[in-house]
Amino acid sequence: MSTKTLAPPASARLLPLLGPAIVAGVAYLDPGNVASNMTAGAEYGYLLVWVVVAGNVMAWLIQYLSAKLGIVTGASLPENLGGSMKSRPTRIAYWVQAELVAMATDIAEILGGAIALNLLFGLPLVVGGVITGAVSLLLLLVQNRRGARSFERIVAGLVLVIVVGFCAGIIIGPPDPAQAIAGLVPRFEDSGSVLLAASILGATVMPHAIYAHSALTRDRFAGVEPASRVPVLLRATRMDVTIALAVAGGVNVVILLVAAASLQGVPGTDTLEGAYAAIAAGLGPAVATLFAVGLLASGLASSSVGAYAGSEIMHGLLRVRVPLLARRAVTLIPALIILVIGVEPTLALLLSQVVLSFGIPFALIPLIALTARRGVVGDYANRWWTTAAAVVAAVLLVTLNLTLIWLVVTGA
């Protein structure tokens, strides 16, 4: 009898290499996404399903390019940018805009966690914000002391909670299949729908996720010999990004479908608290509680990833490392100020997407340029069609984000 051992299939050999995209993909499941998609479904029904799908298709390419840059160069996008900028004032100016974007991201995530804790336990929003920030710091300490794999496992567990929390409503209140399919046809209804579409895209393709993914793959695959392992890592990364964004995209579509099926026309659903009350009234308190738990997991996971991205931005551009506790305290302050002065939290979430819109070109355009240059990534430079697709995505995203800014400023 032959004792020859069969080699595991190629896909099985890639499984241990998965994980960084799951962490980066949390950015696509943050409270800003929840607020945008919930509002879109409640106000316009199935109209903007196509925006969520299109955003995730573009996000796949963008996140893959970011991950590739980290793998091939062994450096994050901020490090690559910092190394190419010889003038310190230029690096500082670039860091200022990136830091403002990171703070805007943190505001959305801290507010989401605070709202969830208020809905679940009646905690004051300020207290909930402090707790969310503290827990995100603990998650970052795990990443620092236990390594990337432990951090990935914790975040993956939180993603599972998010999936269950946000998808439970679709079982109780299923959407109309025909209308959901019709929502895949690109169209707008009025300026409000354009504003929400731009907000959805602003919450989908986020600058800090672009910065973070390159750092996550750098940390996970540090010291890899390019000649031997990079092709395998890139195949694993394509699988990783596909899984992560299939999950994130699916959850975002479900949030919109639940709102379209069960909350359309219900007053008060333009806030997360109102959406929670409407879900409790229409789908039952159990579904509403799961929604709040999902929102809490979203705030905790995305806040830790956002803080990780902010730390990497500072290190890469300024070559400075700030202790995590100090950095967490500083970035927590703007969110707590918003909560203390009584700004409506969901409005603050949506407006934070406007600030994020400013940062998209500064992260996306350099990423495309760097991954297209042989002088940076050698034989792994983008094929012309990859660069062309990325440029088209960049033009669309920048145009829609500028539209978002214009609509908000003019009040159109």
Secondary structure element (H or E) that encloses residue 275, with its range: helix 272-283
Provide the pLDDT for residue 10.
56
The per-residue pLDDT for range 311-367, each reduced to its tens digit, is 888 889 888 877 766 777 777 788 888 888 887 776 777 677 667 777 888 999 999
Q: How many CB atoms lie within 10 A of CB 140?
A: 21
The C-alpha atoms of residue 295 and residue 393 are separated, in whole angstroms, by 29
Question: Which one is predicted more confidently, 64 or 275?
Answer: 64
Provide the pLDDT for residue 17.
78
pLDDT band at 3 (very low <50, low <70, confident <90, very high): very low
The per-residue pLDDT for range 185-228, each reduced to its tens digit, is 999 888 788 878 877 876 678 888 899 999 999 988 875 555 56
Mean pLDDT of 25-43: 86
pTM of the model: 0.89
The C-alpha atoms of residue 224 and residue 81 are separated, in whole angstroms, by 21
The per-residue pLDDT for range 280-290, each reduced to its tens digit, is 988 999 999 99
pLDDT band at 6 (very low <50, low <70, confident <90, very high): very low
The per-residue pLDDT for range 78-137, each reduced to its tens digit, is 999 998 888 888 999 999 888 888 888 888 888 889 999 999 999 999 999 999 988 888
8: pLDDT strictly greater than 60: no
162: pLDDT strictly greater than 90: yes
DSSP string of 182-197, one letter each residue: HTTS----SHHHHHHH
Residue 234 corresponds to which amino acid?
L
CA-to-CA dists, residue 126 to 6, 31, 61, 301, 379, angstroms: 58, 17, 38, 19, 51
Provide the pLDDT for residue 211.
93
Least confident of 151-165, 276-290, 342-356, 369-383: 342-356
Domains of the chain: 29-226+244-410 (1.20.1740.10)
The C-alpha atoms of residue 167 and residue 291 are separated, in whole angstroms, by 8
